[in-house]
Amino acid sequence: MADSTQIEWTDSTWNPVTGCSKITAGCDFCYAERFSERFRGVKGHPFESGFDLTLRPARVRQPLQWRQPRRIFVNSMSDLFHKEVPFSFIDSVFDTMEEADWHTYQVLTKRSSLLVRYLKRRYGKESAPSHIWLGVSVEDEKNAVRLTHLKAAQASVKFVSFEPLLGSVGPIDLKGIDWAIVGGESGPRSRPMAEEWALEIRDQCEKDNVAFFFKQWGGIRPKSGGRQLEGREWNEYPQTPLQPVPTAA
């Protein structure tokens, strides 16, 4: 759990699971894999097993230790809905998020069909609480089907991360989506993002009244290209305030 982070759209990260496996082009040059594999074989290091999928039950209750409300990106180093993460373990993560409800949680996945299935299993006909934001990653038009899955998900707050944006996502309907993040790829093998790809998403957000956040252009380092799109920064968030810390009776 990181008390601070350089990810612009969140305050902290929480990783009850680490490691993952690649499923689409957006995973090709994964920053989390690149970081984790540097420490493979280092005795006693948290990433001694590199980017192998690892459940970390000792971290499940960590958000309860933070009393100051904050936005928490869940599993910045993995995907909570990876097929090898048991629903029973996902339950324990959701139990903590529901208990420590003064935080706002940002859960992002590429396994959008599993997200839909899990939410239906956990909440029945209800929706997840509004302080648990559920989102999907979409890197190009081929994977825009995840947006369709998200619309069907029983989530109160829904968001899409178009990062790394590797191509035009084509015509999309963002009605019912609360937030969109756009970002280019970073790292030594980063693939460039065209301005028109970002602008078409920005314009669709304006049309559908969706909060728009432009994270970065990307490059060798995340901040190489800066954060301005058409001469300004875009730092919009959904209109859902952080929860206050409960006071003692």
Question: pLDDT tens across 195-225, in order?
Answer: 999 999 999 999 999 999 999 999 998 888 9
Residue corresponding to tokens 């690892």: 54
Does the domain made of 12-216 have the CATH classification 3.80.30?
yes
Q: Is the pLDDT of residue 61 over 80?
A: yes
CA separation for the pair 39, 51 (Å, rounded): 9
Run of H or E residues at 73: strand 71-74
Q: Is the pLDDT of residue 243 over 60?
A: no
CA separation for the pair 211, 195 (Å, rounded): 19
CA separation for the pair 171, 129 (Å, rounded): 30
| Residue-averaged pLDDT of the chain | 94
In this prediction, residue 5 carries a pLDDT of: 86
pLDDT digits (tens, 9 = 90+) for 5-57: 889 999 999 999 999 999 999 999 999 999 999 999 999 999 999 999 999 99
Q: Is the pLDDT of residue 249 over 50?
A: no
In this prediction, residue 219 carries a pLDDT of: 94
pLDDT digits (tens, 9 = 90+) for 151-190: 999 999 999 999 999 999 999 999 999 999 999 999 999 9
In sequence order, which residues have a C-beta less than 8 Å from that of residue 206 and are 6 or more positions away? 212
Provide the whole-model pTM.
0.94
Q: Give the whole-number percent of the chain exceeding pLDDT 90.
A: 92
Cα 173 to Cα 110, 139, 141: the distances in Å are 19, 16, 12
In this prediction, residue 150 carries a pLDDT of: 98
Domain boundaries, the chain: 12-216
In this prediction, residue 105 carries a pLDDT of: 98
